[in-house]
Amino acid sequence: MIYMPDKKPKRVIMRVDVVPTAIDAHCYLTGMTHAATYTRMVKWIADQDETTQAAVLGLLPESAKIDVVEKFLKKMATRKRGQPQSRSAQ
C-alpha cells in the first residue's frame, strides 16, 4: 500500500501479543470477543498521553518509573471521580 497523507485507510491490521489467559478471563467475564477487547485496549492506549503510553507499553527506564508513578497518583487524586481520563482533558 502506498502511503498517502491525505487519505487514511479505513482499516488497519496489526498484531497484538497478550497473555492469553488474562484476555480469556476478561472476555469470559464481560462477554466480549477477543477482537472487541483488543480494539478497546488499542483505542484506550491511543487516547492516553505519551507518558502513560510509555508506562503501559513498558518503555520507561527503571530510573523514571518512580517519578511516573508519583505523577499518576497525583493526577488520579485531582481527577473528579468517574471522569474518564483522556488526552483532550489534560
Q: Which three cell numbers stand for residue 88?
A: 483532550
Phi-psi region of 82 (alpha: psi -120 to 50; beta: other; left: phi over 0): left
What does the pLDDT look like over 38-63, one tens digit per residue? 889 889 988 888 888 888 888 888 88
User: Domain limits at 23?
Assistant: 15-47
Is 8 inside any structural domain? no
pTM exceeds 0.75? no
| pLDDT band (50, 70, 90) for residue 90 | very low
> Between the CA of residue 84 and those of 42, 74, 80, what are the distances in Å?
16, 15, 9
Q: How many domains does the chain have?
A: 2
Tell whether 10 is covered by a domain.
no
**1, part of any domain:** no
Summarised one tens digit per residue, pLDDT across range 8-40 is 667 767 777 777 788 899 899 999 998 899 889
